[in-house]
Chains A and B, each alone.
Chain A
Amino acid sequence: EVQLVESGGGFVQPGGSLRLSCAASGFTLSDQYMDWVRQAPGKGLEWVGRSRDKGSGYTTQYAASVRGRFTVSRDASKNSLYLQMNSLKAEDTAVYYCAKDLSGRYAWDQWGRGTLVTVSS
């Protein structure tokens, strides 16, 4: 069974850092494009960033709102995806989901349950 489990969320002050993890099971992470998507309280979903598969050199892409502050990475040995978040702002407060791309169909067919990040002083 395919499963994604996020962890690492919590409370952090503005300007602080946090690293989120997404542990994958049931499939090989390196074979898939993976994304982070967030949802601020009471708001819609927002795409955050992408890590392409091994064949694409694990290249990354980011939303303008997080570019230069957030970094997506992977650890193939742990079958895990990460989101390093630096210089956090109040507007980064959200539930962060990792999601598996549906192999070139421009959709995400597997999502984790999310982890809540709260940025506040």
Chain B
Amino acid sequence: QSALTQPASVSGSPGQSITVSCTGTSSDVGAYNHVSWYQQHPGEAPKLILYEVSDRPSGISDRFSGSKSGNTASLTISGLQADDEAVYSCCSKSIIGSPWVFGGGTKVTVL
């Protein structure tokens, strides 16, 4: 069981916006703004799409945005495209236990 809780799946039609939640505790998501998100297509390596809750690395589309409220972080994908279909995983720095904890991943399906 992963330390951070994500929905198993989220779906949306092309052009729509979807949001993926990532719920932790006051010892991880709630304690830091060190939340990152990774996109992973089948058979490929994870790809960083957001760090420090809402910052985007160079080359990442502004269709990807992030936010945090309390112990829950969220990833929003706007203008959903076919290539957005992938597994999205969140990660947070943690005060206790492992210094980094992940969510179990959310399969995003473009209908």
Residues of A near any B CB (own CB < 8 A): 37, 43-47, 50, 61, 63-64, 97, 99, 102, 105-109, 111-114
Contacts and interface: CB of A to CB of B under 8 A. Distances in A.
A82 B36 CA distance: 25
A106 B51 contact: yes
Chain B contact patch, size range? 20 to 34
Given A47-B99, A63-B98, A105 B46 contact: no
Contacts of B34: 105-107
A107 B89 CA distance: 12
Contact of B48 (A37, A61, A109): A109
Given A44-B89, A107-B36, A107-B91, A61 B99 contact: yes
30 contacts: A43-B2, A44-B2, A44-B89, A44-B102, A44-B103, A44-B105, A45-B89, A45-B91, A46-B98, A47-B98, A47-B99, A47-B100, A47-B101, A97-B46, A102-B48, A102-B51, A105-B52, A106-B34, A106-B52, A106-B100, A107-B51, A107-B52, A108-B36, A109-B48, A109-B51, A109-B57, A111-B46, A112-B45, A113-B44, A113-B45
Contacts of B52: 105-107
